[in-house]
Chains A and B, each alone.
Chain A
Amino acid sequence: MDKNMLAGLEGMPEEDKMRMASMIDQLQIRDSLKMYNSLVERCFTDCVDDFTRKSLKKQEETCVTRCAEKFLKHSMRVGMRFAELNQGAATPDN
């Protein structure tokens, strides 16, 4: 979900281009918020299951940090591969 989407818009009249760009912006915002929510849920589910107190244990905090970082790195990698496949780039089968 990025600028590649704008690549096919060259031939359009200006107002249509703006409309598409605004659509893409909206989608990106919505997508970011969705990702935020699902990431929180995932890391909470994976890292927190001790409810003897309200505050987070140090270990839980560390886990959540790593979980989030890991997912974001993963998401970037997936994005790269996804873009390659979208463009029909051939890759070795290994």
Chain B
Amino acid sequence: MAANNSPLPAGVTKEQAFGMAETEMEYRVELFNRLSQTCFSKCVDKRHVSSGLHLYFYGSRYKESELNMGENSCIDRCVSKYWLVNGLVGQMLSAGGQRPM
């Protein structure tokens, strides 16, 4: 059995473990960044409002530097949904990976 304090999975060297940890961290940072950009565009960056075939262009962009209540709620919900989609897609990818294409 492993003599050190944090046992590694079978067949994994310490170098590999560090590599995987780094990859995992990079993935998480990327996830956060994409989530943040996406939800900003969906909830805060209200430049265009499409109504049917028409695109309305708000004359004054960024009227203020505070987030209003609507934006706050939207952000919370967007983050929650993005997270769920992330999980769903993850499930589908791991299930699909076992079937031959």
Interface residues, chain A, CB within 8 Å of chain B?
1, 5, 11-13, 16, 19-20, 23-24, 27, 31, 34-35, 38, 42, 46-47, 63, 65-67, 69-71, 73-75, 77-79, 81-82, 85, 91
Contacts and interface: CB of A to CB of B under 8 A. Distances in A.
- Kindly state the interface size class of chain B when it binds its partner: 35 or more
Contact of B79 (A23, A73, A85): A85
A82 B36 CA distance: 10
Contact of B39 (A34, A42, A78): A78
Contact of B40 (A16, A31, A74, A82): A74
Given A12-B5, A85-B79, A1 B29 contact: yes
Contacts of B44: 70-71, 74
| Interface of A (DSSP majority class) | helix
A73 B67 contact: yes
A82 B28 CA distance: 10
Nearest to B64: A66
Interface of B: 4-6, 14, 18, 21-22, 25-26, 28-29, 32-33, 35-37, 39-40, 43-45, 47, 61-67, 71-72, 75-76, 79-80, 83
Given A67-B62, A70-B62, A78-B35, A5 B79 contact: no
Nearest to A70: B65
B63 to A, nearest CB: 8
B36 A73 contact: no
Nearest to A85: B83
Contact of B29 (A20, A31, A77, A78): A31
Contacts of A31: 29, 33
A94 to B, nearest CB: 8
A74 B75 contact: yes
Nearest to B31: A82
A3 to B, nearest CB: 13
